[in-house]
Structure 1
Amino acid sequence: MPYMFGGLVILNAIALGYYLFVQQPSATQSLQTAQDELIRPLTFTNSAEHIPPLIGSKN
């Protein structure tokens, strides 16, 4: 039984190493959209125009 457990641990380590280092992931549509949004500059809107006026006065 310990040999089977050790074998499964080694097999798991090999599979993890393969998926982390050998196989290159392909870019999906959602990943490509997220990368484009990070690279593209954001548009700036002045939100101060939408703030209601202050009520009362500060003394």
Structure 2
Amino acid sequence: MDKARDGWLASIQGRTLPKTYTIQKTAIESLVAFLGTKTKLHTVTRTDLAHWYVVVKF
């Protein structure tokens, strides 16, 4: 997840407003912390994302 996070953040940095970038960076860092840095992106399921959403929401 670390590589995916870094690549995605690099891809949006130049075309995203600073405040929006900060919000998105915080969200993706939360997701990576929840799933674990060693998790492979292709193994993440909707259920994983739903569990993370519940944690973030409350």
Fold match by TM threshold 0.5: no
TM-score (norm 1): 0.33
Using CA pairs under 8 Å that are at least 6 residues apart, name the structure with larger relative contact order, 1 or 2.
Answer: 2
**CA radius of gyration, larger in:** 1
More helix by share: 2
TM-score w.r.t. length of structure 2: 0.33
